[in-house]
Structure 1
Amino acid sequence: MTGSDVTRDGVRGARPGRDAAPGAFQQRGRRRRKGEEPMVPRAEFDSYYGRPIIKTPPWSARDIAGYFFFGGLAGAGSVLAAGAHVTGRTTTAKAMKLSSIGALSVSAAALVNDLGRPARFHHMLRVFKPTSPMSVGSWLLTGYGAFAGAAAASAVTGRLPLAGAAATVGAAFLGTGVATYTAVLAADTAVPAWHGVYRQLPYVFAASATAAASGMALAVAPTRENTPARWAAGLAAVGEVVSMTMAERGLGMVAETYRTGRAGTLLTTARVLTVGGAACAAFLGHRSRAAAVGSGAMLLAGSACTRFGVFAAGIASAKDPVYTVGPQREVLQRSAAVDQTPRDDRRPA
């Protein structure tokens, strides 16, 4: 006989060490009692020779971070253009409509350049997939571009004012999505620095887009019409500081990628420029044309630094396996702490 044979007297020919230890198999769903030792040790996460665990996004910083920035400028700019149109600030409305369609053109060119072939953008329009941020974003850009282009054409030619007004409203409505959907696109990846702030990142991008649009309005609009832009700049500065602070607090150790290296330098510069530009616009923007243009340039530069800084933080977190392993270990430690807590202590009071 080979192997083991079950007889009336027991197992004959069994190899030693094959007996199951008591408690090795626990009933499904039953928590381990305090003091019990697990038969299988908890998993330890590591990477192969320190190599990245996840694939670093192959995106170009110039193309994709630029696509983020100019898309935000276009979308938020259409919202300010609609407000200026409604309140009779015709010079500001016309300038913002033109800047929005121009920014959208640059954003689309950056996206197509990163894709490699213009036909690839067209291919994304073959289907509409609500669960895909890329699919939704492609359709959003297409619809927004039509409205923004019609609004700008009406403003320049002076023809079809009613159609131009309707297009202005449509561009403002879709512009809110254009300004923020790229945050969802980034957070939908496995990149730790982006996915870990999927709740806060849209607010960061919304504030950054508002800062860019208000900066453009301050730069191109006459001082007598820039009051809404100055208020928007102040709100954008506060919103960006608060949302970035909340994002870093919720990231744990991954927040280091936002504070160190290239990303840390860019985001620190962004905060200084955005807050400084908003303060200059609030106190001097309505008195001096030069101060308005200068504060607008600071806000635009600050918004660009924010987008490029967030992009750099994501790439840094993907390249270093520590930022992939660390959060997983923290989850395991919290789970172990819960398992070791007596059942009575886990009951709500």
Structure 2
Amino acid sequence: MSRRGERPMVPEAEFTSYYGQPIINPPVWEPLDIAGYLFLGGLAGMSSLVAVGSDATGRLALARVAKTGAVAAAGLSLVALVHDLGRPARFLNMLRVFKVTSPMSVGSWLLAAYVPAAGVSALSAWSGRLPRIGGLATAAAALLGSGVATYTAALITDTSVPAWHEGHREMPFVFVGSAATAAGGLGLLAAPVAETVPARNLAVGGVAVELLAFERMRKRMGMVAESFDTPKAKPFIRAAQGLALAGAVGALVGRRSRLVSALSGAALLAASAATRWGIFHAGMASAEDPKYTVVPQRQRTVTPTA
């Protein structure tokens, strides 16, 4: 008996939702606070790594710039976080426990330890006093800074927001590349040209990592990647990519020009910030549209029939 192909009697289901209402509650985060917090944390943490490397190679002016940028960015990121929480007591309450499985708990403790270390490092660099203590603080800030620059990727991908959660594999690389782009850009902007080689190399490498990881993330995310093309997110993503490429080219061709280096540094800083704002707005858009929650879940639950 030959088998005949069966014809489906029920048409394939199309996506619908209850009056178009979101399936999940979008985060009640303000762009200036949280996107700024994501950007500043990356800039601070990676700048501390630049600082310890600059000290080790005798680039004292670059080290001073990196240390200053680290403590300023860390302080502002803490202010942004506290402002979003509503009052300082809420941040202090998060330090009552340490939960290794919670990115927010780990991040709160990282910031609480990092900001004083970065502050002592910068103070010693500018005053010239207590160099040994300053060196220890610089090393501590660099050690903690690697976590400060990256934990925010775990923080947002650990949520149920589709555009963030679906990018959990590549998002840490995007954030690391973006942080390196920002820290390198700061060095190009403010340090003497003679000392900017490490910052230049870091910035160009950061741009490459960020752009490649972001494109890989978009391809793997499928339809959820559409959220990066929404009206609020798309301008930031395009600006980030354009500024990053322009800044990288300027960093390579302007090795001896103070003006070109400074302009490249400014472009790279702006590119890193635009990346964080674009990712933030894409996440909010994906949380507000129920299809980005329901359709991927349906696709994961469908099993092929024999």
Q: Please, what TM-score do these two structures have when normalized by structure 1?
A: 0.83
Show the counterpart of 1:186.
156
Post-superposition shift, 1:95?
A: 1.4
Match of 1:112 in 2: 82
| Residue 273 (structure 1) aligns with | 243
Q: 1:223 and 2:185 equivalent?
A: no
**C-alpha separation between the residues in 2 aligned to 1:85 and 1:182?**
27
Q: List per-residue Cα deviations over 1:268-317 (Å, max 9, x = no partner).
A: 11011011101101111x21100011000000000000000000000000
Structure 1 partner of 2:45 = 75
Cross-structure match for 2:218:
248
Aligned pairs (5 A) from 1:83-98: 83-98=53-68
Give 1:332 deviation, angstroms. 3.3
User: What's the CA shift string for 1:61-109, capped at 9, x where partnerless?
Assistant: 1100000011111101111111111100001101110111011111111
Measured after TM superposition, the shift of residue 260 of structure 1 is: 3.3
Q: What is residue 327 of structure 1 aligned with on the other side?
A: 296
Q: Which structure has the larger Rg? A: 1
Partner of 1:11: none
Distance 1:300 1:116 in 2: 28
Structure 2 Cα separation of the partners of residues 43 and 108 of structure 1: 47
Distance 1:261 1:331 in 2: 28
* CA contact 2:184–2:202 (8 Å) conserved in 1: yes
For 1:143 and 1:313, how far apart are their aligned partners in 2? 31
Q: CA RMSD in A?
A: 1.9
Residue pairs, 1:1-349, within 5 angstroms: 46-284=16-254, 286-333=255-302, 335=303, 337=304, 340-341=305-306
Deviation at 1:44, TM superposition (A): 8.4
Query: How far 1:47 sits from its partner (Å)?
Result: 2.4
Q: CA deviation at 1:259?
A: 2.7
Tell me if the contact between 2:230 and 2:285 (Cα under 8 Å) persists in the aligned partners: no
Extract structure 1 runs of 4+ deviating beyond 3 A.
42-46
- CA distance in 2 between counterparts of 1:309 and 1:66 reads 11
Taking the aligned partners of 2:116 and 2:14, their CA distance within structure 1 comes to 52
Structure 1 regions of 5+ residues with no counterpart?
1-34, 37-41, 342-349
- Kindly indicate which of the two structures has a greater share of residues assigned to helix: 2
Q: Percent identity?
A: 52
2:9 alignment partner in structure 1: none
SS of match in other structure, 1:178: helix
What is the CA deviation profile of residues 228-281 of structure 1, one whole-angstrom value per residue up to 9, with x for unaligned ones?
A: 111111101110111001110111100001133221221111011011101101
